Structure 1
Amino acid sequence: MFDLRSYTLLLNEAFDTGHDNDDLYCLLEAFLDAENEPVRPVNTDSSELHRILNNNRVMHAFTRVTGGSVRLSTCFRQQVTRLGRVDFVLLEASGGPVLGIRFDGVVACAVSPQGERSPPPPGPLLRH
């Protein structure tokens, strides 16, 4: 299962947020609680609608708590010069499911259900 902490780990990996994982998690959780917009855990049985709602809620909260002013992590800045869409995707990797963050459809990084950094499955991805 992937919960808000999984999303937080990916956001902090992909962006220079100025927060550690615990601080960013607390900010996102507080914002989502105040908005009454829960992020329910996802797994391979979750519906597409469930995943889309989580994606929208997390990205809305992230934009609000960071004031919309974050930069890509240094390791991605040279590869990504224009960024249109950021979303999350549930993928099947050799060790099981992973949650990845995508930049314009290209997987940047992924985490396992245990919150460990995981190599994304083969396909288009960004190297860092």
Structure 2
Amino acid sequence: MKRAQVIDLLIKIAEEYNQVDTSDPEVDRLYENLKDFPFDVACENVRQHMLTNPWPPKIAQIRGGAGDQRDQGWLKNQTEEYFAERDKAQASATPMPTGWKEELYARLKSGATARH
């Protein structure tokens, strides 16, 4: 995010919350903490915050739980990999031989444990 975008974001916040500090030192502080964060995501997080919270957002709320978002992305990738492995296993699976299940049931009923 650029410094000008931080100012735009701060203006949006100040329009909703009249007790917001818009001084140059506050802009500098916000810029330092948001310069690595995408502006469009910050705007959406602020918009969502305004819908549900009567107090101005803190930096962590503007960032919207970036750590949680990273974790969700990692979990999504892990899930996709798992399902890809399952699809691969299913593609190489072969059906059991004919009569196998019936033979197993018969052996279990008779109490035989060794195969002859």
Asked if TM exceeds 0.5, the reply is: no
Judging by fraction of residues, say which structure has more strand: 1
* Structure of higher RCO (CA pairs closer than 8 Å, 6+ residues apart): 1
Greater Rg by CA: 2
TM-score between both structures, scaled by the size of structure 1:
0.26
TM-score between both structures, scaled by the size of structure 2:
0.28
